[in-house]
Structure 1
């Protein structure tokens, strides 16, 4: 029987159930519940803005968006967002999903920590980021009703210490490849959590390049 939370139906196709099981078995409880909340807050945003989107693609994007933080999907030298996007792409290819749909999901995951761009892309891309921004940053918090927030967090609790916990998860997923945080928000995470981290500087790279002028 399909589950409905805060008026949003959780996709219940074979592919969606397989994705749920895969993420449940791979990620920590904190990341799994976070990913489900991302889908729900993203879907609620889509309903509020009257956007037309494919719920199943949104679900895959939300569920895979942090897979790049964990083994066996974390590469040695790619941004974790790209690792998660690649994992979702491979998963969707196995299910025979069209390339145009795969591209939407790939972009949704790869861009979810790049502020200012996803909202101008297709709804699946925009809504994954909207869900992430609501759950992690509290953006648009008051655009959701108290009942909606309560129902989502009752089904998928944030638990005590979620704020510190999600920062720790980001740090653990990127600390072995600090160079991938250059120019993105995860640089702030490592600056907080890794005393040996040295933040790259865009201007220093320009001024120190091999060009004479």
Structure 2
């Protein structure tokens, strides 16, 4: 069992990682399913999101934000190696099933489902519930550094010290995205996820929406 960093993170950041039975079970499930790379990434997504929520006065439920952050990339794992859904939908469905098994209110389940499903869709989540906005913002910060200046140097150092990125994080995350989507390339259409396939597979051909429109059989 990995050491519990809840108190350590609280002391460094004044941000709680929830320690309820629901949160502990979510963390255990994700730790057993995901690589250390994705587990640490998911935890950092929660921390970035929680810090932004506190900084910007965005209300959120700590447990719901945590569960959404922890489940947001589970669809990239080998457990979904034959799925033909978008990986975001696989993660959203997994989070929904987990919460329903704990008899969480359906309105809260819907928030988490949407937070996971939309976490790769910038421009929309920030206008929705706090949990939805903050998962997307946290993921953008951790993967691409979006919103970097919204955090202090001390905050950035503390988050990464508690849940390290490790060497070559960028390349390893690209590999994780590619491995999670290479068997379902059609699901990347209309998102930036096709960038991962194009980066790793020189034979990958992007779908061009303009060509689809111009060649539509509907006249």
- TM-score for both structures, normalised by structure 2: 0.94
User: Any residues of structure 2 matched to 1:107-186 within 5 Å, and which?
Assistant: 107-186=114-193
Q: Deviations over 1:80-128 (max 9, x none)?
A: 0000000000000000011110111011010010110110111000000
Contact 1:73 1:84 in 2 (8 A): no
Distance in 2 separating the partners of 1:75 and 1:203: 30
Contact 1:85 1:107 in 2 (8 A): yes
Instruction: Tell me the secondary structure at the aligned position of residue 8 of structure 1.
Output: coil
The alpha carbon displacement at 1:75 in A equals: 4.9
The alpha carbon displacement at 1:77 in A equals: 1.2
Which position in structure 2 is the counterpart of 1:44? 51
Contact 2:81 2:183 in 1 (8 A): no
Which position in structure 2 is the counterpart of 1:210? 217
Gaps of 5+ in 1: none
Distance in 2 separating the partners of 1:207 and 1:139: 35
How many residue pairs end up in the alignment? 212
Q: Deviations over 1:143-170 (max 9, x none)?
A: 1011111110001001110011111100
Instruction: Tell me the secondary structure at the aligned position of residue 79 of structure 2.
Output: coil
Which position in structure 2 is the counterpart of 1:100? 107
- TM-score for both structures, normalised by structure 1: 0.96
Residue 86 of structure 1, aligned match among 85, 93, 110: 93
